[in-house]
Amino acid sequence: MADSDTARGRANFVERRLMVTVRIVLLAVAMTIQFAVHGYRFLSGPAEPGAEIAVYVALAVTGLGYGAVLLFRPRTPVAVRAVCVAVLLACSVVMSAILPLDAVDRAEQWSLSVIGWYGLAVLFGTPLRWAVGFLGVHALVLTWPMLIAGASLEDLAAMGIVMVAVIGFQVGVALSARLVRAIAAAAARTSRAEERLRVSEEVAAVVARDRARRYADLRETALPLLAGLAEESLDPRDPVVRRRCAIEAARMRRLFSESDTADDRLVHELAAVIDIAERHDTTVTLSVRGEPVEVPRDVRRELLAPISDVLVTTRSDARVTVLHAPDRVRLSVRCAAPEIGATEPERSDIECVQSVIEGQLWLEVSWRSP
Protein backbone atom coordinates (compact mmCIF):
# COMPACT_ATOMS: atom_id res chain seq x y z
CA MET A 1 0.00 0.00 0.00
CA ALA A 2 2.83 2.39 0.90
CA ASP A 3 4.66 1.57 -2.35
CA SER A 4 1.55 2.31 -4.41
CA ASP A 5 1.03 5.62 -2.58
CA THR A 6 4.67 6.56 -3.19
CA ALA A 7 4.40 5.63 -6.86
CA ARG A 8 1.20 7.64 -7.24
CA GLY A 9 2.82 10.64 -5.54
CA ARG A 10 5.86 10.44 -7.80
CA ALA A 11 3.67 10.26 -10.91
CA ASN A 12 1.62 13.25 -9.72
CA PHE A 13 4.80 15.24 -9.07
CA VAL A 14 6.17 14.53 -12.55
CA GLU A 15 2.79 15.34 -14.10
CA ARG A 16 2.58 18.68 -12.28
CA ARG A 17 6.07 19.64 -13.42
CA LEU A 18 5.27 18.78 -17.03
CA MET A 19 1.93 20.60 -16.91
CA VAL A 20 3.57 23.76 -15.55
CA THR A 21 6.23 23.59 -18.26
CA VAL A 22 3.61 23.25 -21.01
CA ARG A 23 1.58 26.16 -19.57
CA ILE A 24 4.67 28.35 -19.60
CA VAL A 25 5.34 27.38 -23.22
CA LEU A 26 1.73 28.12 -24.24
CA LEU A 27 1.86 31.45 -22.42
CA ALA A 28 5.08 32.28 -24.25
CA VAL A 29 3.38 31.42 -27.57
CA ALA A 30 0.43 33.69 -26.78
CA MET A 31 2.64 36.61 -25.73
CA THR A 32 4.93 36.15 -28.73
CA ILE A 33 1.96 36.30 -31.11
CA GLN A 34 0.53 39.33 -29.32
CA PHE A 35 3.70 41.39 -28.96
CA ALA A 36 6.04 40.18 -31.70
CA VAL A 37 3.50 39.54 -34.47
CA HIS A 38 0.78 42.12 -33.80
CA GLY A 39 2.51 44.62 -31.52
CA TYR A 40 4.26 46.38 -34.39
CA ARG A 41 0.91 47.19 -36.05
CA PHE A 42 -0.32 48.92 -32.91
CA LEU A 43 2.84 51.00 -32.67
CA SER A 44 3.40 51.92 -36.32
CA GLY A 45 -0.04 51.59 -37.93
CA PRO A 46 -3.00 53.98 -37.90
CA ALA A 47 -4.67 54.64 -34.58
CA GLU A 48 -6.88 51.78 -33.48
CA PRO A 49 -10.24 52.20 -31.75
CA GLY A 50 -9.97 52.82 -28.03
CA ALA A 51 -11.88 49.63 -27.23
CA GLU A 52 -9.43 47.53 -29.24
CA ILE A 53 -6.46 49.14 -27.50
CA ALA A 54 -8.13 48.45 -24.15
CA VAL A 55 -8.56 44.79 -25.13
CA TYR A 56 -4.91 44.62 -26.19
CA VAL A 57 -3.75 46.06 -22.86
CA ALA A 58 -6.12 43.81 -20.88
CA LEU A 59 -4.76 40.72 -22.63
CA ALA A 60 -1.17 41.84 -21.97
CA VAL A 61 -1.88 42.44 -18.28
CA THR A 62 -3.67 39.09 -18.01
CA GLY A 63 -0.78 37.25 -19.64
CA LEU A 64 1.88 38.93 -17.51
CA GLY A 65 -0.12 38.50 -14.32
CA TYR A 66 -0.85 34.83 -14.96
CA GLY A 67 2.80 34.26 -15.83
CA ALA A 68 3.89 35.78 -12.51
CA VAL A 69 1.43 33.60 -10.59
CA LEU A 70 2.59 30.53 -12.53
CA LEU A 71 6.24 31.14 -11.65
CA PHE A 72 5.66 31.60 -7.93
CA ARG A 73 2.72 29.23 -7.47
CA PRO A 74 2.84 26.29 -9.90
CA ARG A 75 -0.45 25.04 -8.44
CA THR A 76 -2.49 27.91 -9.81
CA PRO A 77 -5.51 28.69 -7.59
CA VAL A 78 -8.90 28.09 -9.17
CA ALA A 79 -9.90 31.70 -8.45
CA VAL A 80 -6.98 33.01 -10.52
CA ARG A 81 -7.95 30.82 -13.46
CA ALA A 82 -11.59 31.88 -13.17
CA VAL A 83 -10.64 35.58 -13.23
CA CYS A 84 -8.37 35.06 -16.25
CA VAL A 85 -11.07 33.16 -18.17
CA ALA A 86 -13.62 35.87 -17.36
CA VAL A 87 -11.28 38.60 -18.64
CA LEU A 88 -10.54 36.63 -21.82
CA LEU A 89 -14.22 36.04 -22.59
CA ALA A 90 -14.97 39.71 -21.90
CA CYS A 91 -12.23 40.68 -24.38
CA SER A 92 -13.75 38.28 -26.91
CA VAL A 93 -17.19 39.88 -26.48
CA VAL A 94 -15.78 43.41 -26.86
CA MET A 95 -13.84 42.51 -30.00
CA SER A 96 -16.87 40.78 -31.50
CA ALA A 97 -18.95 43.89 -30.87
CA ILE A 98 -16.55 46.35 -32.52
CA LEU A 99 -15.49 44.23 -35.51
CA PRO A 100 -17.25 44.63 -38.85
CA LEU A 101 -19.54 41.83 -39.97
CA ASP A 102 -17.30 41.00 -42.91
CA ALA A 103 -16.13 37.39 -42.63
CA VAL A 104 -12.62 38.16 -43.89
CA ASP A 105 -12.08 40.96 -41.36
CA ARG A 106 -13.27 38.79 -38.48
CA ALA A 107 -11.32 35.74 -39.57
CA GLU A 108 -8.05 37.65 -39.94
CA GLN A 109 -8.47 39.65 -36.73
CA TRP A 110 -5.55 39.20 -34.27
CA SER A 111 -7.72 38.53 -31.22
CA LEU A 112 -9.07 35.23 -32.64
CA SER A 113 -5.81 33.35 -32.09
CA VAL A 114 -4.36 35.41 -29.21
CA ILE A 115 -7.37 34.94 -26.91
CA GLY A 116 -7.43 31.24 -27.76
CA TRP A 117 -3.76 30.77 -26.88
CA TYR A 118 -4.16 32.63 -23.60
CA GLY A 119 -7.15 30.45 -22.79
CA LEU A 120 -5.14 27.30 -23.49
CA ALA A 121 -2.32 28.49 -21.23
CA VAL A 122 -4.79 29.10 -18.39
CA LEU A 123 -6.86 25.92 -18.80
CA PHE A 124 -4.25 23.41 -19.95
CA GLY A 125 -4.28 20.41 -17.64
CA THR A 126 -7.85 20.95 -16.46
CA PRO A 127 -10.58 18.58 -17.66
CA LEU A 128 -10.62 18.67 -21.45
CA ARG A 129 -14.21 19.87 -21.59
CA TRP A 130 -13.22 23.19 -19.97
CA ALA A 131 -10.58 24.06 -22.57
CA VAL A 132 -12.74 22.87 -25.48
CA GLY A 133 -15.74 24.70 -24.03
CA PHE A 134 -13.78 27.93 -23.72
CA LEU A 135 -12.57 27.73 -27.33
CA GLY A 136 -16.10 26.91 -28.49
CA VAL A 137 -17.59 29.90 -26.65
CA HIS A 138 -14.84 32.14 -28.02
CA ALA A 139 -15.58 30.99 -31.59
CA LEU A 140 -19.33 31.35 -31.08
CA VAL A 141 -18.96 34.89 -29.71
CA LEU A 142 -17.07 35.96 -32.83
CA THR A 143 -19.50 34.19 -35.18
CA TRP A 144 -22.81 35.05 -33.49
CA PRO A 145 -23.16 38.62 -34.87
CA MET A 146 -22.81 37.24 -38.41
CA LEU A 147 -25.53 34.65 -37.77
CA ILE A 148 -27.88 37.29 -36.40
CA ALA A 149 -27.20 39.59 -39.36
CA GLY A 150 -28.01 36.78 -41.80
CA ALA A 151 -24.59 36.38 -43.37
CA SER A 152 -24.39 34.43 -46.59
CA LEU A 153 -23.30 30.81 -46.71
CA GLU A 154 -20.12 31.87 -48.49
CA ASP A 155 -19.18 34.23 -45.64
CA LEU A 156 -20.02 31.62 -43.00
CA ALA A 157 -18.00 29.01 -44.90
CA ALA A 158 -15.02 31.35 -45.11
CA MET A 159 -15.33 32.10 -41.41
CA GLY A 160 -15.67 28.39 -40.64
CA ILE A 161 -12.52 27.49 -42.56
CA VAL A 162 -10.46 29.94 -40.52
CA MET A 163 -12.13 28.81 -37.28
CA VAL A 164 -11.31 25.18 -38.01
CA ALA A 165 -7.72 26.07 -38.87
CA VAL A 166 -7.09 28.21 -35.76
CA ILE A 167 -9.47 26.87 -33.11
CA GLY A 168 -9.13 23.29 -34.36
CA PHE A 169 -5.36 23.41 -33.94
CA GLN A 170 -5.75 24.81 -30.44
CA VAL A 171 -8.20 22.01 -29.56
CA GLY A 172 -5.54 19.55 -30.71
CA VAL A 173 -3.06 21.19 -28.34
CA ALA A 174 -5.59 20.85 -25.51
CA LEU A 175 -5.89 17.13 -26.30
CA SER A 176 -2.13 16.76 -25.80
CA ALA A 177 -2.72 17.07 -22.04
CA ARG A 178 -3.54 13.37 -22.08
CA LEU A 179 -0.21 12.69 -23.77
CA VAL A 180 1.57 14.70 -21.08
CA ARG A 181 -0.09 12.58 -18.39
CA ALA A 182 0.99 9.41 -20.20
CA ILE A 183 4.56 10.73 -20.40
CA ALA A 184 4.46 11.54 -16.68
CA ALA A 185 3.26 8.03 -15.84
CA ALA A 186 6.00 6.50 -18.01
CA ALA A 187 8.62 8.72 -16.37
CA ALA A 188 7.37 7.70 -12.93
CA ARG A 189 7.56 4.01 -13.88
CA THR A 190 11.12 4.47 -15.14
CA SER A 191 12.05 6.29 -11.94
CA ARG A 192 10.59 3.50 -9.81
CA ALA A 193 12.47 0.86 -11.80
CA GLU A 194 15.75 2.76 -11.43
CA GLU A 195 15.13 3.21 -7.72
CA ARG A 196 14.39 -0.49 -7.22
CA LEU A 197 17.56 -1.38 -9.14
CA ARG A 198 19.64 1.04 -7.09
CA VAL A 199 18.22 -0.27 -3.81
CA SER A 200 18.76 -3.89 -4.84
CA GLU A 201 22.38 -3.11 -5.77
CA GLU A 202 22.96 -1.40 -2.42
CA VAL A 203 21.37 -4.31 -0.56
CA ALA A 204 23.49 -6.79 -2.50
CA ALA A 205 26.64 -4.82 -1.65
CA VAL A 206 25.74 -4.73 2.04
CA VAL A 207 24.99 -8.46 2.07
CA ALA A 208 28.28 -9.19 0.30
CA ARG A 209 30.26 -7.12 2.82
CA ASP A 210 28.44 -8.78 5.71
CA ARG A 211 29.16 -12.25 4.36
CA ALA A 212 32.81 -11.33 3.87
CA ARG A 213 33.03 -10.25 7.52
CA ARG A 214 31.36 -13.47 8.66
CA TYR A 215 33.67 -15.66 6.64
CA ALA A 216 36.69 -13.69 7.89
CA ASP A 217 35.67 -14.41 11.48
CA LEU A 218 35.14 -18.08 10.73
CA ARG A 219 38.46 -18.41 8.90
CA GLU A 220 40.32 -17.23 11.98
CA THR A 221 38.72 -19.68 14.42
CA ALA A 222 36.43 -22.29 12.90
CA LEU A 223 38.53 -23.34 9.91
CA PRO A 224 41.65 -24.22 11.94
CA LEU A 225 39.47 -26.27 14.26
CA LEU A 226 37.82 -28.12 11.37
CA ALA A 227 41.19 -28.64 9.72
CA GLY A 228 42.57 -30.13 12.93
CA LEU A 229 39.64 -32.51 13.21
CA ALA A 230 39.97 -33.51 9.55
CA GLU A 231 43.70 -34.12 9.87
CA GLU A 232 43.13 -35.97 13.18
CA SER A 233 45.56 -33.67 14.91
CA LEU A 234 42.72 -32.82 17.31
CA ASP A 235 40.88 -35.47 19.26
CA PRO A 236 37.08 -34.94 19.32
CA ARG A 237 36.99 -36.85 22.61
CA ASP A 238 39.18 -34.25 24.26
CA PRO A 239 37.01 -32.03 26.53
CA VAL A 240 38.99 -28.95 25.49
CA VAL A 241 38.38 -29.66 21.80
CA ARG A 242 34.72 -30.26 22.46
CA ARG A 243 34.42 -26.96 24.29
CA ARG A 244 36.16 -25.20 21.39
CA CYS A 245 33.66 -26.83 19.03
CA ALA A 246 30.81 -25.62 21.22
CA ILE A 247 32.20 -22.09 21.16
CA GLU A 248 32.48 -22.09 17.37
CA ALA A 249 29.00 -23.59 16.98
CA ALA A 250 27.56 -20.81 19.14
CA ARG A 251 29.51 -18.21 17.18
CA MET A 252 28.25 -19.54 13.85
CA ARG A 253 24.69 -19.71 15.12
CA ARG A 254 24.94 -16.12 16.32
CA LEU A 255 26.38 -14.96 12.99
CA PHE A 256 23.55 -16.65 11.10
CA SER A 257 20.94 -15.03 13.35
CA GLU A 258 22.24 -11.54 12.51
CA SER A 259 20.29 -11.61 9.25
CA ASP A 260 16.99 -12.31 11.02
CA THR A 261 14.41 -9.59 11.65
CA ALA A 262 13.60 -8.93 15.30
CA ASP A 263 12.48 -6.04 17.50
CA ASP A 264 15.38 -6.63 19.90
CA ARG A 265 18.23 -7.93 17.76
CA LEU A 266 20.64 -8.18 20.69
CA VAL A 267 18.33 -10.48 22.66
CA HIS A 268 17.47 -12.41 19.48
CA GLU A 269 21.13 -13.20 18.81
CA LEU A 270 21.66 -13.99 22.49
CA ALA A 271 18.78 -16.49 22.27
CA ALA A 272 20.64 -18.31 19.49
CA VAL A 273 23.65 -18.68 21.79
CA ILE A 274 21.45 -19.87 24.67
CA ASP A 275 19.96 -22.52 22.38
CA ILE A 276 23.43 -23.96 21.74
CA ALA A 277 24.25 -23.84 25.45
CA GLU A 278 21.08 -25.69 26.39
CA ARG A 279 21.94 -28.42 23.90
CA HIS A 280 25.01 -29.01 26.06
CA ASP A 281 22.80 -29.63 29.10
CA THR A 282 23.15 -26.12 30.50
CA THR A 283 19.97 -24.56 31.85
CA VAL A 284 19.99 -20.83 31.15
CA THR A 285 17.68 -18.33 32.81
CA LEU A 286 17.30 -15.11 30.83
CA SER A 287 16.06 -11.81 32.26
CA VAL A 288 15.55 -8.76 30.04
CA ARG A 289 14.79 -5.33 31.46
CA GLY A 290 14.17 -1.97 29.82
CA GLU A 291 13.11 -0.89 26.36
CA PRO A 292 15.27 -2.17 23.47
CA VAL A 293 17.71 0.32 21.98
CA GLU A 294 19.48 0.22 18.64
CA VAL A 295 22.88 -1.47 18.94
CA PRO A 296 25.20 -1.60 15.89
CA ARG A 297 26.02 -5.02 14.51
CA ASP A 298 29.74 -4.86 15.31
CA VAL A 299 28.96 -3.81 18.87
CA ARG A 300 26.51 -6.70 19.28
CA ARG A 301 29.21 -9.14 18.21
CA GLU A 302 31.67 -7.77 20.75
CA LEU A 303 29.06 -7.77 23.52
CA LEU A 304 27.94 -11.34 22.90
CA ALA A 305 31.36 -12.92 22.28
CA PRO A 306 32.39 -13.27 25.98
CA ILE A 307 28.85 -14.20 27.05
CA SER A 308 28.75 -16.89 24.36
CA ASP A 309 32.13 -18.34 25.39
CA VAL A 310 31.01 -18.64 28.99
CA LEU A 311 27.57 -20.13 28.32
CA VAL A 312 28.71 -22.93 26.02
CA THR A 313 31.68 -23.96 28.20
CA THR A 314 30.27 -23.76 31.72
CA ARG A 315 29.27 -26.97 33.49
CA SER A 316 26.50 -25.47 35.59
CA ASP A 317 23.26 -23.64 35.19
CA ALA A 318 23.59 -19.99 34.21
CA ARG A 319 21.68 -16.80 34.74
CA VAL A 320 21.89 -14.10 32.08
CA THR A 321 20.61 -10.55 32.51
CA VAL A 322 20.17 -7.94 29.79
CA LEU A 323 19.61 -4.38 30.94
CA HIS A 324 18.56 -1.74 28.41
CA ALA A 325 19.03 1.89 29.41
CA PRO A 326 18.48 4.94 27.18
CA ASP A 327 22.24 5.39 26.69
CA ARG A 328 23.73 2.11 27.85
CA VAL A 329 23.40 -1.65 27.40
CA ARG A 330 24.60 -4.16 30.00
CA LEU A 331 24.83 -7.93 29.76
CA SER A 332 25.86 -10.08 32.70
CA VAL A 333 26.15 -13.80 33.34
CA ARG A 334 26.60 -15.77 36.54
CA CYS A 335 27.58 -19.42 36.44
CA ALA A 336 30.31 -21.87 37.40
CA ALA A 337 33.66 -20.65 36.15
CA PRO A 338 34.60 -22.51 32.95
CA GLU A 339 38.07 -23.80 32.28
CA ILE A 340 38.43 -21.66 29.14
CA GLY A 341 38.47 -17.91 29.65
CA ALA A 342 36.06 -15.56 27.88
CA THR A 343 37.08 -13.57 24.82
CA GLU A 344 38.06 -10.01 25.66
CA PRO A 345 36.32 -7.32 23.56
CA GLU A 346 38.58 -5.46 21.15
CA ARG A 347 36.55 -2.25 21.04
CA SER A 348 37.58 0.49 23.43
CA ASP A 349 33.98 1.58 24.01
CA ILE A 350 33.00 -1.82 25.45
CA GLU A 351 33.82 -2.57 29.06
CA CYS A 352 34.26 -6.13 30.30
CA VAL A 353 34.50 -6.95 34.00
CA GLN A 354 34.73 -10.44 35.44
CA SER A 355 35.50 -12.00 38.78
CA VAL A 356 35.57 -15.50 40.22
CA ILE A 357 34.53 -16.11 43.82
CA GLU A 358 34.40 -19.64 45.23
CA GLY A 359 34.28 -21.14 41.74
CA GLN A 360 31.42 -18.87 40.59
CA LEU A 361 32.02 -16.53 37.67
CA TRP A 362 30.37 -13.16 37.41
CA LEU A 363 30.94 -11.44 34.06
CA GLU A 364 29.52 -8.16 32.81
CA VAL A 365 29.97 -6.44 29.46
CA SER A 366 28.55 -3.00 28.76
CA TRP A 367 28.45 -0.46 25.96
CA ARG A 368 27.53 3.20 26.13
CA SER A 369 25.96 4.72 23.04
CA PRO A 370 27.78 7.80 21.69
Which ranges of the chain does DSSP label H, i.e. alpha helix?
Answer: 2-31, 39-44, 50-72, 78-98, 103-107, 111-123, 128-148, 153-230, 239-257, 265-279, 297-313
Q: Could you read off the pLDDT of 44-72 as tens digits, one per residue?
A: 655 567 888 899 999 999 999 999 998 88
Domain ranges (residues) in the chain: 2-195, 235-368
The pLDDT value recorded for residue 106 is 72
Angle at 87 between CA 84 and CA 88, to 5 degrees: 85
The pLDDT value recorded for residue 31 is 92
304 in Cβ contact with 359 (< 8 Å): no
Could you give the CA distance from residue 105 to residue 95 in angstroms, rounded to a whole number?
12
Tell me the Ramachandran region of residue 286: left when phi exceeds 0, alpha when psi lies from -120 to 50, beta otherwise. beta
The pLDDT value recorded for residue 214 is 63
Could you give the CA distance from residue 258 to residue 69 in angstroms, rounded to a whole number?
55
pLDDT at 2 over 50: no
Could you give the CA distance from residue 241 to residue 126 in angstroms, rounded to a whole number?
78
pTM above threshold 0.95: no
pLDDT at 189 over 80: no
The interaxial angle of helices 50-72 and 78-98, nearest 10 deg, is: 160
Could you give the CA distance from residue 31 to residue 41 in angstroms, rounded to a whole number?
15
Report the pLDDT averaged over residues 272-296: 86
How sure is the predictor about 1, in pLDDT bands with cuts at 50, 70 and 90? very low
Distance from the first to the final alpha carbon of the chain: 36
pLDDT at 82 over 80: yes
Report the pLDDT averaged over residues 150-172: 80
pLDDT at 103 over 70: no
* Residue of 318, 298, 322, 321 whose CA lies nearest to 360: 318
Of 36 and 241, more confident: 36
CATH class of 235-368: alpha beta
Q: Could you read off the pLDDT of 293-331 as tens digits, one per residue?
A: 888 888 888 898 888 888 888 888 899 999 998 889 999
Q: Could you read off the pLDDT of 213-268 as tens digits, one per residue?
A: 766 666 777 777 777 778 878 787 777 777 777 777 777 766 666 666 677 888 88
Of 181 and 127, more confident: 127
